[in-house]
Amino acid sequence: MPLVSMRQLLDEAAKGGYGVGAFNVNNMEQIQSIMEAARETQSPVIVQASRGARAYSQDRFLYHLMIAATELYPEIPTVLHLDHGNSVETCKSAIDMGFTSVMMDGSLLADGKTPSSFEYNVDVTRQVVELAHAKGVTVEGEIGCLGGIEDGHGSGGSGLEHVTDPVQAEEFVKQTGVDALAIAIGTSHGAYKFSKKPSGDTLKMDILIEIHKRLPNVHLVMHGSSSVPQELQDVINKYGGKLNPTFGVPVEEIQLGIKNGVRKINVDTDNRLAITGAIRKVFIESPEKFDPRDYMKPAREAMKKVVATRMTQFGQAGHAKDYAPIPLSEMVKRYASEAVPA
């Protein structure tokens, strides 16, 4: 099965009332972890790469690893998505490379740090929509700014400084024609999201619900949604790490979001924690080991377990064979038939 359109996966998720995890990758082992979890749970999957990941893996390596994934796991509908594109040019380069979905994060300027204006966001996002839809590629936009910084991207802060305005969200979708909308409700990039279990003061689920009421047919996206389980932190600290106490987004809050229009859930930190903990364990318990396979195999398995668990919790498990993939050429025709605002 070739790489498929994210729009198709999210449309199907909306029909089935479930969410789809979007898992970040930088290398072969992470891709293998995700694909093995998808096979084990029979899940459709979104594999995403940031600008930092594309630079680290040198782009063509990453792309061809994903082609290998579609050849080795032909039964799994798989999307290759650009996470947090910072400019029209960045998104275009991903589209030209063969990504089947891109995010234009116009909530920040091209430096990936400075909050932009609504007008700037609309302009750059609409440009990407026009480029992408002409090739059948899905577009995710963002309104409001997440907190924290990860992979050099983010506005910093707690995540509550630039919470999404539901009225602006509605207008943004109308003016841009995006397929999916990332919203800011208090979540943050990175491991250090909350100093205590988030409440209504720190995680604004009421705003998410309001946006869904205004945009019932738009696929919402939750970024910064790793749950940062205590047991993963404990493994790292047990084997020499020094993580400060932190809380992530509770799974039950994500599930509430799924009931209210969230179709894509971004997870990265949980997988990083799982990999790092497994590697540290080998280094401490078997210090004589020096073959990378001796620590990358358990690291790969640890990440697979986390991904499989999230796929089950998000409800995507068991849905890999629900539908036949729609070629991007067919998506081009579908987009052309949709009325996009001038």
Residue 83 designated active-site: yes
Whole-angstrom distance, CA of residue 256 vs CA of residue 81: 24
Catalytic residue among 11, 59, 83, 179: 83
CA 89 to chain centroid, in Å, comes to 20
Closest to 28 (Cα-Cα) out of 63, 4, 2: 63
- Listed in order, strand segments (DSSP E) in 113-226 are 138-143, 180-183, 219-222
- The two three-digit tokens of residue 178, written as one number: 């995006």
- Please, are residues 270 and 243 in contact by the beta-carbon 8 Å criterion? no
Query: Residues 246-285, buried b or exposed e (16+ Cβ, 10 A)?
Result: bbbbebebbbebbebbbbbbbbbbbbbbbbbbbbbbbeee
Tell me the residue type at 235: V
Closest to 45 (Cα-Cα) out of 273, 223, 264: 264
Closest to 264 (Cα-Cα) out of 136, 128, 83: 83
Query: Residues 207-244, buried b or exposed e (16+ Cβ, 10 A)?
Result: bbbbbbeebeebbbbbbbbbbbbeebbebbeebeeebe
- Where is 78: in which H helix or E strand? strand 78-85
Q: Please give the positions annotated as active site.
A: 83
